[in-house]
Amino acid sequence: MEIAHPYLLFLGDVHDNLAAKTALGIVDWRRDWCLGQIRLPGCEADCGLPDLTPAQAADQGTKTFVIGCVNPGGILPEHWVNSIVEALESGLDVASGLHMRLEEVPAIRDAAQRTGRRLFNVRQNNETFKTGSGAKRTGKRLLTVGTDCSVGKKYTALAMERGMNEAGFDASFCATGQTGVFISGRGIALDAVVADFISGAAEWLSPPADDDHWHVVEGQGSLFHPSFAGVSLGLLHGSQPDAFVVCHEQGRELMRGVQTPVPSIREVIEGTLSMGRLTNPDIRCIGLSINTSAMDEADAKNYLARLSAEIHLPATDSVRFGVAPLVTRLQEEFGTPR
């Protein structure tokens, strides 16, 4: 799926920015793709964009109305439907990351048919995948992996894409989750793929490329998470990374949603190397990206320096201190781009 931008971001009437984190993620990374936002009465989220009606947004060149928020339960409330229909009638496509398909709402389905506009359900995949082949593809790949879910794998991949391109690499981000799909306009919500096709979908996502092209693949879950390790392993095998970055949140003790302890960074490096060699014998770890937000800046720098000395790899907080040490390491390992 290729979602056209610019976007108009719909925030509904959600009660905080957390419920609008998809919209905020899009603004963080693609501010220039976003012309405005729509907030219903009672909305307490704010992306800092101009408030526009669908008609105003269309006049300014908007292509897609993006549902950038989620209400409790993840379903589409009745009172959001009018805004969606209005967007379609103003000539916009509509994109959603909800679990349900937009077509399931008759008023939306009818409006899309009437206007000929497209409905994108990024949590669903219309694409038919093959099972993974395990065959080595041309081009290079970097994957972000995690000690847990929600430790900055998407952020780190996007920051690496930007940092690598600034350093002269030819890099492109590959989205594997819904927010990433909106940020890049394409990709796959990998957790919604049928189990048999996880690695095949990951192969499809980062196809053969020029020898010095880097696909920077957004990781999912953790090889050590009892709910999602299967997705993480299929993604590792299918993306066959040449390089990976381990993402971690300093101080987190239990993995999200379960009672299982967070694995050590060393375990994640060893496990990723050992399992990743199946489809890329030359896989290597190029560094760590750590969320240190619970520490003050001096403590964070000390902690990262200690960790780096211990693991013999660069360690940074990508949000706080940027990804330059990781990009430098990549240059050292794989050569400076021409």
- Binding region for its own copies (CB under 8 A): 131-135, 190-196, 198-200, 224, 226-235, 237-238, 257-260, 275, 278-279
Count of Cβ atoms closer than 10 Å to residue 41 Cβ = 6
The residue with tokens 């909305």 is 43
Greatest Cα-to-Cα distance within the chain, rounded to the nearest angstrom: 62
Considering the complex, what minimum distance in angstroms separates the CB of residue 240 from its own copies? 9
Q: Which residues of 77-104 are buried (b: 16+ CB within 10 A; e: fewer)?
A: eeebbebbbbbbebbbbbbbbbeeebee
The residue with tokens 């971001």 is 9
Region at 187 (left for phi over 0; alpha for psi -120 to 50; beta for the rest) = left
Considering the complex, what minimum distance in angstroms separates the CB of residue 275 from its own copies? 8
How far is 63 from 32, CA to CA, in rounded Å?
13
Cα angle 251-253-259, degrees, rounded to a multiple of 5: 160
Question: In this complex, which beta carbon is closest to its own copies, that of residue 12 or of residue 200?
Answer: 200
Strands 284-291 and 213-217: unpaired
Question: In this complex, which beta carbon is closest to its own copies, that of residue 80 or of residue 197?
Answer: 197
Question: In this complex, which beta carbon is closest to its own copies, that of residue 181 or of residue 233?
Answer: 233
Considering the complex, what minimum distance in angstroms separates the CB of residue 258 from its own copies? 5
Question: In this complex, which beta carbon is closest to its own copies, that of residue 133 or of residue 336?
Answer: 133
Question: In this complex, which beta carbon is closest to its own copies, that of residue 50 or of residue 134?
Answer: 134
Considering the complex, what minimum distance in angstroms separates the CB of residue 55 from its own copies? 38
Considering the complex, what minimum distance in angstroms separates the CB of residue 142 from its own copies? 19
**DSSP state at residue 236:** H
Question: In this complex, which beta carbon is closest to its own copies, that of residue 97 or of residue 234?
Answer: 234
Considering the complex, what minimum distance in angstroms separates the CB of residue 285 from its own copies? 18
